[in-house]
Amino acid sequence: MSKKDVDETRNQSTTQRAYIALRDAIITGEIAPGEKLKVETLKSTLDTGASPVREALSLLTSNQLVERRDQRGFRVALTSRKQFEEILSLRCKLEDLALRASVESRSSEWEEELVLAHHHMEKSVSEPLGIFEERHKAFHLALLSGCVSPILLRFCEQLYDLNIRYRYLAIKSNGYAKRDVAGEHRAILDAAIKGDVELASAQLISHYRNTGAYLSELIELS
């Protein structure tokens, strides 16, 4: 491998690390909606160069987590009830398609991976939030992994990341702690493993709409 190839690989790796760190900070609310993202500040925070930071911000812009403001730089994308409702609607429609295709073409390998992903997620409830989030996402993507459309799966994953910010807002709701999220996950898993497409779809959509219901309590989204 030439020095140029090594440098490009190293830069891609640095950009990926910067992208993941910024994405996680944005979707968990550590960096608030509307907050300015200054390259010089992020260089210090992420302990990296300006180029990886700019490339990471460009990737986040394409994923709609960051907004580019002409000559005024970058800021974290704003949240709104209207946007959340659009994300929720799209998730219900696209994941319904992906889940149905995944369940209908299920295999023993898919079932084993799904059960394992659910097991890891349940075990991580008492772990640091970042670990749970990683395994929660893995479970939801495992549900859809039997779908043979890479483009559809990519859209579903992007919508997942956009939605997480709103789920963190929902957690602030007074009634959220009363919700049996673990039970909702088990109901989705059971229906999928049994091959009950209609029930699995209904349980998944209900799971997402339950989160949306709690969001109605949050004044800042009105």
Residues 157 and 192 in one domain: yes
Average pLDDT over residues 195-208: 96
pLDDT digits (tens, 9 = 90+) for 18-44: 999 999 899 888 898 999 999 999 999
Residues 110 and 129 in one domain: yes
Dist CA 215 CA 208 (whole Å) = 11
Residues 99 and 16 in one domain: no
Cα–Cα distances (Å) from 74 to 6, 41, 67, 78, in that order, read: 29, 12, 6, 12
- CA angle (96 as vertex; 92, 177 as ends), nearest 5: 50
Does 190 score more than 60 pLDDT?
Answer: yes
| pLDDT for position 217 | 63
| pLDDT for position 161 | 87
Residues 93 and 116 in one domain: yes
Residue ending a domain, choose from 26, 58, 76:
76
User: What are phi and psi for residue 31, nearest 5 degrees?
Assistant: -105, 120
Residues 33 and 117 in one domain: no
Please, what is the angle between helix 150-171 and helix 3-27, to 10°? Answer: 40
Residues 53 and 106 in one domain: no
Does 6 score more than 80 pLDDT?
Answer: no
Dist CA 61 CA 75 (whole Å) = 9
Share of residues in the chain with pLDDT > 70 (%): 88
Residues 86 and 184 in one domain: yes
pLDDT digits (tens, 9 = 90+) for 114-153: 999 999 999 998 888 778 888 999 999 999 999 999 999 9
Residues 103 and 211 in one domain: yes
pLDDT digits (tens, 9 = 90+) for 55-90: 999 999 988 899 998 777 899 998 888 888 899 999
| pLDDT for position 218 | 63
| pLDDT for position 177 | 66
Residues 90 and 32 in one domain: no
Decide the pairing of beta strands 74-76 and 66-68.
antiparallel
| pLDDT for position 172 | 64
Provide the CATH number for the domain around residue 166. Answer: 1.20.120.530
3-class state of residue 174 by DSSP: coil
Residues 43 and 122 in one domain: no
| pLDDT for position 7 | 43
Find the domain containing 129 and state its range: 81-221
Residues 7 and 59 in one domain: yes
The model scores a pTM over 0.85 = no
Structure confidence at residue 173 as a pLDDT band (50, 70, 90): low
Residues 43 and 142 in one domain: no
Provide the CATH number for the domain around residue 60. Answer: 1.10.10.10
Residue ending a domain, choose from 57, 76, 95:
76
Residue ending a domain, choose from 59, 76, 93:
76
Domain count, the chain: 2
| pLDDT for position 1 | 38
- DSSP letter for 195, please: T
